[in-house]
Amino acid sequence: MNIDKNEKSILRLEKVVVEDISFKRFNTEATKIEKDAEVSFSKQLNQMEKSLYKVTVSVGINSNSVCNMNITMSGFFRLEEDSTLGKRLLQTNAVAILFPYVRSQLTLLTSQPGFDPVILPVMNINALFANEKY
């Protein structure tokens, strides 16, 4: 299959790394997190080189009676074109590309015996971070 240069994205994911995973269980009898647990999301963008950017996404769940957990993952993205479109793609698409990796790690972390796995729903990432700036 030939892909025309005009069809290729100017944003390319080079690698994904886990920066931090933490899990602190307070109640060994509880098997699931209550529905009113506090869930937080954050993102950060850092330029590493001229066209290389590190985008970091964190998800935290605070359930005072059951457990606290946090997952932070980073993706390294190459931006092939320094343009307004390129910056917009980086700010909107990079987090959306990383989020499934974070969801997967959270589910893996909580899929251990004696605990019901936490599965974050599929979300509109752009709407989630609509009012935040990098």
- Structural domains present in the chain: 7-128 (3.10.420.10)
Query: How long is the chain?
Result: 134
* CB contact at 8 A, 106 and 71: yes
Give the C-alpha separation, 52 to 74, whole Å. Answer: 13
Decide: residue 25, CB within 10 A, 0-12 exposed, 13-18 middle, 19+ buried. Answer: middle
| Residue pLDDT, tens place only, 42-73 | 999 999 999 999 999 999 999 888 999 999 99
pLDDT of 81:
79
Write down the pTM of the prediction: 0.84
How remote is the C-alpha of 41 from its chain's centroid?
Answer: 8
